[in-house]
Amino acid sequence: MSQRVSLLFGVHAHQPVGNFSNVLMDAHIRCYRPFLQVLHRYPDFRFAVHFSGWLLDYLMQEFPEDMALLQEMVARKQVELFGAGDTEPVLAVIPNSDRIGQIEAFSKKLASRLGQRPQGAWLTERVWESTVIPALADCGIRYVIVDDYHFLCAGKTHAELNGYFTTEEDSRKLDLFPISESLRYKIPFAPADETIAYLESLADQWTPDTCAAAVYFDDIEKFGIWPETYQWVYEKGWLERFIQGVLASDKICTQHYSEYHASEKTRGIVYLPTVSYIEMNEWTLPAESANTYADLVQQAKSSGWYEQKKAYLRGGIWKNFFSRYPESNWMHKRMLGLSARFHQLQKTRRTRLMQQKLYESQANDAYWHGLFGGLYLPHLRRAIYNSLVELETLLDARLPRPDYFTEDTDLDGVAEAYLQNGILQAVIKLDSFASICELDAYRLHHNFGDTLRCQAEHYYQKIQPGQNHAASHSASGIASAHDRVSYKHEINAEDIIPDDHPRSLFVDRLDGMFISYHSKAAALENNHFQSANTEYPIHKQFVLDGNRLQVIYHFSAKMAHVFITEINLAMPSCDGVGARYRHHGEILGGLGQLLQLKDINEIALDDDTLGGNVVLATSSPVTLRAHPHFTVSQSESGFEKIMQAVTVQLEWPIITQELIITLEINAWNR
């Protein structure tokens, strides 16, 4: 018997819930379609594929002819389908009942639409915690794939990682395949013949008792969407040369994971630590800690011992995103609360729409940020809140809540007050700012408090202010997105200054200084807050009246001081053409523009994407200053500025003892 290596080749295709239709279209044209077309021409090349559930639904509806290629490849046993949670959640951070529901929903979808129920599963972002084992096993999943790095962190060596291992939790067992980091960085970036030569060298690990496996499973978007990859993979023929070279080799055979799993024995028991892929170690850490970690990694590389001992130089875990980003943590805890309410209902009172909205709110992308991850993208966070707010509407109809209650939703030691009337909901953070951290319009399924503050990021040290140059090219092959430094927008020093206050609604200042409120009074005095400054006492009260939120300020007397309140409004169109300021029928400009008006007491913010508007009115004339709030982030396309909200500042010299600010939220044709 000749020595051969089994190539277990898999790709993962995913688009976030709520992504733009033009992005989905472009991804299909540059990646999904050509990839399927090329692979369809080589029926002997066996491979595995995972399309996330929301993306699969979209492709089956919009591109049935292309997806028929996938169906045919499944039918002729060229393709093995992999399961997961239906909306691509990180399984470790959702309740176990939802894990089972998500996995089972997707397995049934694959069986009904493509004719194959999966035996293996893709783990979102390869986030491993042993707590996910029971749900996977209970849903009939026999094996998952994780990085070889996970195994190295458990003390395994590279030489041992040429097959699969077994683990267990709560009397359920699961087998684990280690994805080769070397292959992840070679495919498709290194020349095809170089990659094939590397695969052939692995055949030497074959013994009479075992067959070595070369395990590859990574994002399909590397085959056409990442910078330069469409030309490299398709126009210059990398993918065809790779497939032809593999099929022509007498040392490589392609197999399904299921075939290898059935024919080979486990390499033994293993217990993996809580970990994700190696790059995530840095991304999950706060900036200062991430910089320290990056410095240690660089020192290790310079000293020549990094590759041998990198498993013992570890950063954070995926859940650190919740402690690092308050906005992510808030979304997550709101989701957990609504999941608990959903499961409190008798099964006969739950609806399919409720379950759909719950699962959509668990989609991973908007909860994290690194080189990838969508926390910085407003449209992805908006998709989460659209589902959360709609789910809350449905649950309130079956399981009503009080009009007012307090709880510490985000577990930060500071309670929040919920004020709702079935039309609007204002969530007031009971800290010194006494501002609104969430403002929901139930008819619009929208949270106007969904924004993101500026905070320090570890990659800011790479930014050279004023630069907008493109990435440099590598000498051979093409560069991975991880190795690029490029600019989509010009970034200035002031763009990366961290915020010194939350980007919420009604953050107040007196003569430029933040006003500190006694928040404990809220529970006793009907949302009535009093400033801590007894020399210039200010009282603040929140009132809901139908589709209007009123914020009432009482001043003890006329004062020779200037009062300013800042209102950060998440408007879906951001700086696009569908959003504008309007005053008495006159359009004043887009929401992405600067605006300053004196002696004004009403202005409307119209938004076509929202399908409604916000009318801001004041009981006395004020000076209004408005500007777009941007944050700077890094993606695979480079450093970019993203509009998060409209920041409206109302300035008022204290000349009367009361100022009432009203936000009237209107839905068009709903």
Residue 411 CB partners (closer than 8 Å, separation 6+): 329, 333
pLDDT at 484 over 60: no
For the ranges 268-277, 455-464, 569-578, the lowest mean pLDDT is seen at: 455-464
Residue 630 CA, chain-centre distance (Å), reads: 18
Query: Nearest 5°: CA angle at 204, between 202 and 206?
Result: 95
Q: Find, among 135, 259, 239, the residue nearest to 191 by Cα.
A: 239
* Model confidence band, residue 66 (pLDDT cutoffs 50, 70, 90): very high
Active site residue 608: no
One of 66, 80, 86, 125 is an active-site residue; which one? 125
Active site residue 219: yes
Neighbours of 274 (CB within 10 A): 15
pLDDT at 275 over 50: yes
| For residues 110-135, average pLDDT | 97
Percent of the chain with pLDDT over 90: 84
Residue 506 CA, chain-centre distance (Å), reads: 27
Within 13 Å, how many C-alpha atoms sit on residue 287's CB side?
14
Tens of pLDDT along 609-638? Answer: 999 999 999 999 999 999 999 999 887 667
Rounded to 5 degrees, φ, ψ at 489 are -135, 160
250-263: buried (b, 16+ CB within 10 Å) or exposed (e) per residue? ebbbbbbbbbbbee
Residue 72 CB partners (closer than 8 Å, separation 6+): 40
Task: Kindly tell me the sign of the dihedral angle through the C-alpha atoms of 291, 296, 302, 306.
Answer: negative
* Model confidence band, residue 1 (pLDDT cutoffs 50, 70, 90): very low
- Considering the four listed CATH numbers 3.20.20.410, 3.40.50.300, 3.20.110.20, 3.40.50.720, the one that applies to the domain covering 5-278 is 3.20.110.20
pLDDT at 269 over 70: yes
Can you name the CATH fold of 474-667?
Answer: Beta-galactosidase; Chain A, domain 5 (2.70.98)
Rounded to 5 degrees, φ, ψ at 273 are -75, 170
The two tokens of residue 89 are 């959640």
CA distance 379 to 377: 6
Q: Write down the pLDDT at residue 522.
A: 47
One of 72, 168, 219, 636 is an active-site residue; which one? 219
The two tokens of residue 110 are 């694959």
Ranges of CATH 3.20.110.20 domains, the chain: 5-278
Percent of the chain with pLDDT over 70: 94
Q: Write down the pLDDT at residue 492.
A: 86
Ranges of CATH 2.70.98.10 domains, the chain: 474-667
Tens of pLDDT along 407-426? Answer: 999 999 999 999 999 999 99
Tell me how many helices (H) and strands (E) the chain has.
19, 27
DSSP SS3 for 658: strand
